[in-house]
Chain A
Amino acid sequence: MIDVRNVYKTFWLPQEVKALVDVSVAIAAGEVVVVIGPSGSGKSTLLRCLNRLETADDGHIFIEGIDVLDPRTDINKVRAEVGMVFQSFNLFPHKTVLDNITLAQRVVRKRSRGDARQRAEKLLKKVGIQEKAKAYPDQLSGGQQQRVAIARALAMDPKVMLFDEPTSALDPEMIGEVLEVMKNLAAEGMTMVVVTHEMGFAREVADRVVFMDGGAIVEIGTPEHFFTSPAHERTKLFLSQILK
Chain B
Amino acid sequence: MSTQQVSLRSKPRSRSYYIGAAAFLVLGFCLASALYIATVQVDYVWRWNRVPQYFFYKDREEVRADIPGEIKGLSAEGEHRRILLKGPEGENEFVVPAHGLRVAKGDLISAGDVLAVQERWKPGLLMQGLWLTIKVSIIATVFGVLIGLFAGIARVSANPFFRWAAVTYVEIIRGSPLLVQIFIWYFVLGTLINSILSKYGIEQISPLWYGVASMATFAGAYVAEIVRAGIQSIHRGQNEAARSLGMSYAQAMVHVILPQAIRRILPPLAGEFISLIKDSSLLGIIAIRELTKATREVVTTSLQAFELWFVCALLYLVLTFTLSMCVKYLERRMVA
Q: Given A92-B256, A107-B255: A156 and B240 within 8 A (CB)?
A: no
Contact B237 A152 (CB under 8 A): no
Contact B247 A104 (CB under 8 A): yes
Q: Given A93-B260, A94-B259, A94-B263: A80 and B246 within 8 A (CB)?
A: yes
Contact A79 B237 (CB under 8 A): no
Smallest Cβ-Cβ distance to A52: which chain B residue: B243
Q: Given A80-B245, A156-B245: A107 and B251 within 8 A (CB)?
A: yes
Residues of B within 8 A of A51 (CB): 244
Chain B interface main SS type? helix
Contact A103 B255 (CB under 8 A): yes
Q: How far is the CB of B143 from chain A (nearest CB, A)?
A: 27
A227 within 8 A of B: no
Contact B247 A76 (CB under 8 A): yes
Smallest Cβ-Cβ distance to A155: which chain B residue: B245
Interface string of A55-99 (1 = CB under 8 A from B): 000000000000000000000110111111010101111100000
Q: Given A94-B260, A94-B263: A153 and B245 within 8 A (CB)?
A: yes
Residues of A within 8 A of B241 (CB): 84, 86, 90-92, 149
B322 within 8 A of A: no
Residues of A within 8 A of B244 (CB): 51, 53, 79, 82-84, 153
B53 within 8 A of A: no
Contact A107 B240 (CB under 8 A): no
A140 within 8 A of B: no
Interface string of B253-264 (1 = CB under 8 A from A): 001100110010
A25 within 8 A of B: no
Interface centre among B237, B242, B246 (most CB of A within 10 A): B246
Residues of B within 8 A of A149 (CB): 241
Residues of B within 8 A of A156 (CB): 245-246
B248 within 8 A of A: yes
A149 to B245, CA, bound (A): 11
B204 within 8 A of A: no
A76 to B252, CA, bound (A): 11
B232 within 8 A of A: no
Residues of A within 8 A of B206 (CB): none
A104 to B238, CA, bound (A): 13
Residues of B within 8 A of A108 (CB): 245-247, 251
A80 to B251, CA, bound (A): 13
Listed from nearest, the 9 A-B pairs whose CB atoms lie closest are A80-B246, A90-B241, A104-B245, A90-B237, A84-B244, A108-B246, A79-B246, A76-B246, A94-B259
- The interface of chain B, by Cβ under 8 A from chain A, is 235, 237-238, 240-248, 251, 255-256, 259-260, 263
